[in-house]
Amino acid sequence: MTELDLGQKAAVRRLLWRMGFATRIDVPLRAYVPANKGKPDYQSFTDLDVLAVTAAPGFRIHTAIADCKSTDKRSTERMFWIRGVGDFFGAEAAYMVRNSKVTDAARQLAARLNIAVLTGDDLAELESAHHIAFDLTDPPLARLFDPAQIADYLKAFTGLDRKLDPLQEYRQFDYWVYEPYRNLTQMVSHLADASTMLDPANPLHAALLVDCCWLYLLAVCRAVEHIRATHAADVETCLVEYFFGGQVAMREKQQLLMHLRRVLPPEAGVQSQLLPPWFGQLLELVGRFTRTPSACLPALRYAEVLSAALAARRRTSVVQAFGHHTDPIAAKLLADVVGFLVAAAGLNPNFRDMARELLTRELTGGDRRSPGGSAAAPEPPGLFELAADHPE
């Protein structure tokens, strides 16, 4: 990754935010392969420069991808790569971004493959055509679009305790290759395994958890998309089926459970229920997003901003970042996602306090004032000291 490539990724991210997306930079893809000499092994598929998601009307999750390179070499061949990666992610929009030019053959192929070709001039023109209510040059938000700070964020988690590697590898790699329904369980399981290592007093751990919340929120939104498309009046039944990967998969697991009860003695401890103990809380969380689908996009953006700020060791609340454009329902629902993962995975409760401090305190009449105020609320016990983006 060159500095110029990173500048293109920042520019594409800014354009996609203006177009109404939440984003991720550098999404690597890999596959698990059979063990080699007793150790698990992985082989890389490829990596995606920019991934963007939003909730379209009717609550259909809309995805866009972008490939950013500073050279136009092999741009024609790259078109087919972009089309394949776009199909993998189910992307409705795909962009090939180059510094100044692409081959004439690539431009002719672009329309056939439904790929948009963008140069620096095209990016600037499109940005001017998409207006946004809040200021992307303001310090809390500008962090997302500054190449140097993006690079710092991408490197921020590399020095964490090796015991957190399974969680890190899941959020970086496995999340994207699992069937979407599996992530409702896998995220909770990986966080539970890391629960004794995650420290709410460590801002990098807090940033990691908020980033996991971004991913889990996307998994919840995909569940809501399925429910609204199949049987919106019966959320529980639809969620149970989705949770197991469909009606057939659910029946197979029920039959397997019945067989195990018959062949194994009671002391074997075969569980009597297929659903985890936290499924009721998940059902409630999914129900809230089902009733307020417009909260999906702002909640994803809030997680994106807060994770970047925490990794930079800056204290940024959603009100400081978005001002009077803050959606209080979306902020509350993101705090609910944090609270759900804290409870389901057995994480330190101070993570929940952190989320409330940064997401909802200024929206519910807490002591902390909005930017320009003078009073600050005392920090909940066990939280970290950070410099504020807007000193009070």
| Confidence band, pLDDT 50/70/90 cuts, at residue 373 | very low
Asked whether residue 205 falls in the same domain as residue 168, the answer is: yes
> Encoding tokens for residue 160?
């964490």
Asked whether residue 27 carries a pLDDT value surpassing 90, the answer given is yes
Is residue 363 classed as helix, strand or coil in its secondary structure? helix
Does residue 190 belong to any structural domain of this protein? yes
Those residues whose C-beta lies under 8 Å from the C-beta of residue 16, and which sit 6 or more positions away, are: 23, 50, 52, 64, 66
Specify the pairing of strand 116-118 against strand 93-98.
parallel
Residue that terminates a domain, selected from 89, 115, 132: 132
Give the model's pLDDT for residue 31. 77
Would you state the pLDDT for residue 375? Answer: 41
- How far apart CA 384 and CA 122 sit, in angstroms, is 43
Answer yes or no: are the C-beta atoms of 250 and 239 closer than 8 Å.
Answer: no
- Average per-residue pLDDT in the chain? 87
Pair (85, 216) in one structural domain: no
Asked if residue 54 is part of any domain, the answer here is: yes
The last residue of a domain, from among 97, 132, 167: 132
160: buried, middle or exposed (CB in 10 Å: 19+, 13-18, 0-12)? middle
N- to C-terminal Cα distance for the chain? 38
CA 272 and chain centroid, separation: 33
User: What does the pLDDT read at residue 365?
Assistant: 58
Residue 139 lies in a domain: no
Q: Are residues 221 and 79 in the same domain?
A: no
| pLDDT of res. 374 | 37
| Bridge-based pairing state of the strands 22-36 and 39-56 | antiparallel
The answer to whether 324 touches 290, Cβ cutoff 8 Å, is no
Q: What is the mean pLDDT of residues 276-291?
A: 95
Contacts of 203 (CB under 8 A, 6+ apart): 310, 311, 313, 384, 386
Residues 35 and 103 in one domain: yes
Q: Is residue 268 part of a domain?
A: no
Determine what percent of the chain is predicted with pLDDT higher than 90. 68
**Domain co-membership, 109 together with 174:** no
What is the DSSP pairing of strand 387-388 with strand 22-36? unpaired
Domain boundaries, position 216? 159-259+273-388
- CB 201, CB 383: distance < 8 Å: yes
The domain boundary, picked from 132, 149, 176, lies at 132
Whether residue 36 lies inside any domain: the answer is: yes
Residue 107 shares a structural domain with residue 174:
no
117 and 168 in a single domain? The answer is no
pLDDT tens digits for 195-234? 999 999 999 999 999 999 999 999 999 999 999 999 889 9
Distance CA 360, CA 306 (A): 13
Angle at 217 between CA 213 and CA 219, to 5 degrees: 120
Query: Using 50, 70 and 90 to split pLDDT, how confident is the model at 49?
Result: very high
The one-letter amino acid at 58:
G
pLDDT higher than threshold 80 for residue 3: no
The closest alpha carbon to 297, from 316, 322, 324, 315, belongs to 322
Residues 234 and 367 in one domain: yes
- 42 and 114 fall within a common domain: yes
Least confident of 264-268, 286-290, 335-339, 359-363: 264-268
In tens, the pLDDT along 163-190 reads: 999 999 999 999 999 999 999 999 999 9
pLDDT in tens, 127-175: 999 999 999 999 899 999 999 999 999 999 998 999 999 999 999 999 9
Span 46-63, average pLDDT:
91
Q: Is residue 153 part of a domain?
A: no
Tell me what the mean pLDDT of segment 107-133 comes to: 92
**Spatial CA neighbour of 302 closest among 1, 17, 16, 9:** 17
With 70 as the cut, is the pLDDT of residue 83 above it? yes
Instruction: Specify the CATH number for the domain of residue 118.
Output: 3.40.1350.10
Phi, psi angles (nearest 5°) of residue 117 = -105, 125
Q: Are residues 255 and 365 in the same domain?
A: yes
The reply to whether 171 and 91 lie within a common domain is no
DSSP code for 274: S
pLDDT at 362: 81
Residue-wise pLDDT for 240-261, tens only, equals 999 999 888 878 777 777 766 6
Q: How confident is the model over 328-371, as pLDDT tens digits?
A: 999 999 999 999 999 999 999 999 999 999 999 887 755 443 33
Count: domains in the chain = 2
Residue 365 included in any domain: yes
φ, ψ (nearest 5 deg) of residue 186: -65, -40
How much is the pLDDT for 391?
46
**Strand partners of residue 388:** 315
What is the rounded CA–CA span in Å between residue 222 and residue 300?
A: 13
**Beta-carbon-side half-sphere exposure of residue 322 (alpha carbons within 13 Å):** 24
H helices of the chain, in order, are 3-18, 75-88, 104-113, 120-129, 139-142, 147-156, 165-169, 175-177, 183-193, 203-230, 235-243, 247-263, 279-291, 296-311, 318-322, 328-345, 350-359
Residue 140 lies in a domain: no
In this structure, are 291 and 353 located in the same domain? Answer: yes
Q: How many angstroms separate the Cα of 316 from the Cα of each of 40, 71, 154, 384, 388?
A: 40, 37, 19, 13, 6
